[in-house]
Amino acid sequence: MIAAQDRIPMATEAFTLSSLPLFPLNAVLFPGGVLPLRIFEVRYLDMIGKCHRAGAPFGVVCLTQGDEVRRPGAHETFSRVGTLATIAQLQTPQPGLMIVRCSGAQRFRVTASDRLRHGLWVADVERLPSDLSVAVPDDLVPTAQALGKLIDSLELKAGTQVGLPLQAPWQLDDCGWVANRWCELLPLPTPLKQRLMELDNPLVRLELVSDALARLGISG
C-alpha cells in the first residue's frame, strides 16, 4: 500500500500533478525523447516499481548541484522545468537491478518540492503547454534533412529501430520534433540543452540548433 506522502499521481490528472516523484539526472529529457535507465538505488527501484504498476509517470529534472547517486550529506538542487517520463519497457535481470526504457511526454514546472526521509524527491507541478506544430521553414530544411540522413545512418548501422536513441514516427517536417532530436544527439553542454528545452517557441529552438550545427560544421 502506498502511503499518503508517497502517492503516485495518475496520468489522467488534468493540468497539475501533486506529489509527483522526481528523478534528478545529469541529463535533459525532451518531449518525444527516449531515456534508458539502469536503476539500482533502493529509492528509485521502489519508485519505478510503483509507477510501472500504476501506469503513472514520474518527472525527470536536470541536476544543477549534486550527483545522481545519493551520497550522505550531499546537497541536491535541480532545474524547476522538467519532463514527464512514461515507462515503455522494464526488465529486472537480477534482484536489485532494473533496466528501463522511458519516453518523454509533457514538460512541467515545479511549484513546490520536498525530499522524503529515504531521499526521494516529490513535487507539485503544473504542466506546460505542448509545442505548437510548426512546419520547418525553407531556410531550415537543410537542418531537417541532415537529421533524416543521420537517422538513416543509425538505422543502417543498427539494422532495426529497436534500441535507437530516438523513436518513430519521424516528424522531419515539424520544428519542435527536429529541434528536440538534434538537442538529444548533439554534444551540447547540459545547461544549454536545459535552456533549449525550456523555450516555448519551437521555431526559435530550431534556429538555435541550426546555428549550433553550423558551428560544428554539420549541414544538410
Q: Give residue 1's pLDDT.
A: 30
Pick 38 or 10 by higher pLDDT: 38
Across the chain, what does the average pLDDT equal?
A: 88
141-158 and 175-185 are packed helices; what angle lies between their axes, rounded to 10 degrees?
Answer: 50
**CA 63/CA 68 separation, integer angstroms:** 8
Pick 121 or 156 by higher pLDDT: 121
**CA 103/CA 169 separation, integer angstroms:** 13
**CA 159/CA 165 separation, integer angstroms:** 13
Pick 209 or 219 by higher pLDDT: 209
- C-alpha distances in angstroms, 115 versus 22, 63, 109, 121? 10, 14, 17, 4
| pLDDT tens digit sequence for 137-194 | 999 999 999 999 999 988 888 766 556 788 889 999 999 999 999 999 999 999 999 9
Query: Please, what are the domains in the chain?
Result: 4-127 (2.30.130.40), 138-215 (1.10.4060.10)
Q: What is the mean pLDDT of residues 190-203?
A: 96
User: pTM of the prediction?
Assistant: 0.87
210 is written with which cell numbers? 541550426
| pLDDT tens digit sequence for 40-69 | 998 899 999 999 999 999 999 999 997 777
Beta strands at 34-39 and 97-115: parallel, antiparallel or unpaired? antiparallel
21 is written with which cell numbers? 516523484
